[in-house]
Amino acid sequence: MPDDTFCVRWLMSPFTRRFHLSLFLALTVFSGVRAADVPKATFYVQLIRGSDADKPENPTWAPVGPKLGKNLRAVFRWKNYWEVKREAVAVSSDKAARLHLTREREVELTLLDPPNVRIRLFNKGEMTRCSHQPIGEHMSILGGESKTGECWFVVVRRDSP
């Protein structure tokens, strides 16, 4: 059985203190590097309303840009598309980002194993859509119809609208 005084002397020796300090510093630097290595990606999220009306329901809504308008008109039937809200969000792989678009609608973005992102839409707290997409430069369009016969979309993209 080892002598207790030997153990105490070994733990308190200058070599052991330097070793513990070096180990502590190395772990601190390593954990700092790991936190800095967390990949981040910026996404632009737009809440869009589609309508056949010539004017938006709300005067603060603006017509969508030409690129998005072209993409929406190629697939959907509405004459006009209005941007209700736009937000930019930085998403990191260690934490999901959740945006409140309206009182009823939310979107959650999660970076998965690169190069994918999970997009989940919520309406009144209930998940209505879920999509896994490559993070690339294309846009993801998810949405549905409202009770008034108009539609709403959430557009998630990497390029600025």
Same domain flag for 88 and 28: no
For the chain, give me the number of helices (H) and strands (E)? 3, 9
Instruction: Name the band, by pLDDT with cuts 50, 70 and 90, for residue 66.
Output: very high
Same domain flag for 25 and 57: no
Report, as an integer, the average pLDDT of 99-115.
Answer: 90
Same domain flag for 12 and 72: no
- Least confident among 7-11, 87-91, 100-104, 108-112: 7-11
Q: Which domain covers residue 11, as residue numbers? A: 4-36
Residue-averaged pLDDT of the chain: 79
Taking the C-alpha atoms of residue 83 and residue 67, their distance in angstroms, rounded to an integer, is 13
Same domain flag for 63 and 80: yes
Name the CA dihedral angle for 102, 149, 72, 158, rounded to a multiple of 10 degrees.
10
Same domain flag for 51 and 108: yes
Question: What is the percent of the chain where pLDDT is above 70?
Answer: 72
Instruction: Name the band, by pLDDT with cuts 50, 70 and 90, for residue 49.
Output: very high
User: Is the pLDDT higher at 36 or at 48?
Assistant: 48
Same domain flag for 65 and 95: yes
Same domain flag for 61 and 102: yes
Same domain flag for 85 and 97: yes
Entry pTM: 0.72
Same domain flag for 136 and 106: yes
Taking the C-alpha atoms of residue 62 and residue 60, their distance in angstroms, rounded to an integer, is 6
Q: Could you give the angle at which helices 4-12 and 14-36 cross, rounded to 10 degrees? A: 50
Domains contained in the chain, number? 2
DSSP 60: T
